[in-house]
Chain A
Amino acid sequence: MSAAAALQWRRPSVLPGFGLAFGYTVLYLSLIVLIPLSATFFKAFTLDWSAFWSTVTAPRVAASLRLTFGASLIAALLNAVFGLLVAWVLVRYRFAGRRMIDALVDLPFALPTAVAGIALTAVYAGNGWIGRLLEPIGIKVAFTPLGVIVALTFIGLPFVVRTVQPVLEDLEPELEEAAATLGANRWQTFRRVIFPAISPALLTGFTLAVARAVGEYGSVIFIAGNVPMVSEITPLLIITKLEQYDYAGATAIAVVMLVISFALLLLINFLQWWAGRRLAADR
């Protein structure tokens, strides 16, 4: 490669090690992530299109996709409401145990999903601590779609809190003071001043929670009961197909999930770019 071309591609620097660091990064990324992922797409292209389509639109797969997306959206919505509440309380108020609660919010990130799954099942089963209270009033959580929502709410909980929290911390108090001076009450200030400022972060956190929930497996399979057409999530269906040595079927469903995940990732990147631009415009 000529020196001139290299200079155009990379700005010169006195620091050493670019070649080694960059080369290793690209090699490792390719071997672990890019090549295996592309191989999956190539595998999908070798499938017969009509076979692909009939696999993906089979009633059992369609039902699982409906459940996975429906439950993910409801769980993320719950997390948007309660996550905003938790972030607000943690940033704005001082009370006993606040630091501990702040640290505890990350529990779903730290707790292995299988542990979360059996723990939630134990709590929400008919004889569990909470299930026992809900069953007499006719609410069954474990082994129903409602259980799927509970598990997905658990694992998505930190996303909204941790994206809204820093924005709420950085919010300038002058804005609220100005609103109060102009005669707004607290609710009006929240709705007209605070909420618009944090809404991009809230939306980002919501989308992150959806993205995580859609692919979740470990915490859901224990509490869901996994009844085909009723409480069977899409990732479980991939495993079922694999266990039946139906590699083509598993790949077809996996590709659908990958495409959806990448679309959500693009959306998240766009939301963050938008939020960053709004933040820059405010300053």
Chain B
Amino acid sequence: MNILPRRRSRDEASGAWYPRWYWPGFALPGTLWLLVLFVLPFYVVISIAFGTVDPVFQSPLPVYEPWWWTKRYLAQEWHFATGEFRPVELRTIVYVILATAICLVFAYAVAYYVARFGGKRKGLFLALLIAPFFISYLMRMLSWVELLQPNGYVNSVLTFLHITPHPINWLAGVPFTVVMGLVYGYIPYMILPLYGFLDRIDQSHLEAGRDLGANRFWTFLRVTLPLSKPGILASLVIVTLPMFGDYYTNNLLSGSPKTTMFGNLLDNSMEATGQGPEAAILVLFLVVFLMIPMLYYMRETAKAQRNQ
């Protein structure tokens, strides 16, 4: 009465016997799903980027055979990317760097305070810091759209305090509003990973630094900061990746061509018809541009999965 299946592989660690396809079977649905609905769509994007265009409707005609691929439209779009779109790209990079820098300063301060001085209130602090995760991004932006209206509360406070004589139209393409919106939108995603790293730092390291004669400032600079470097890098990547594809913050808080970012180019190419393969090519550019931070993030996540 042999109930064990014939083909089986021996698991090195446990010594238990498993049918050979036992574990791969678990991973199969997910793997297939991703192959069909993640890899294949991306192949379509590439086929459109290297494909041609319908002469009448100007809609893209994907070419699925790599040997028939043409670089004509790609070159044309590259020409735009290095010419007409250059100001947009530079603006995107400036906005993202500014917003990320502001995020980092405040996120680090908050995470450091909660990790080191949270004490009994740590649970409360964490609940308050996690709350934005459960509030929709749209709602958080919507609340600022309402606060920043010409007759909104921000303007009434400013005019009441006589800081400005007239209400400011914050939503008419003010770069400050867009950068603030980006900071507001993404800073929660930075605080939690930073907190995770800072909370794991052994307090005795800091005490050792102080015992050896360093003051607060040097202890922070030579002990805490180096120990939290992986956390800083990870949180920078977490925040900048979506920022480069962000169009909604900009659309909601400004909507003006004066503050257009790269995400807006992508979104506009989707909303307008007859633009040929533009959307696909822009997606391709963005993926190539973000490849290094994405690979870094993936490597870090995979590392965390191996040894925690």
Query: A and B: partners?
Result: no
Query: What is the interface of chain B, defined by CB distance below 8 A to chain A?
Result: none
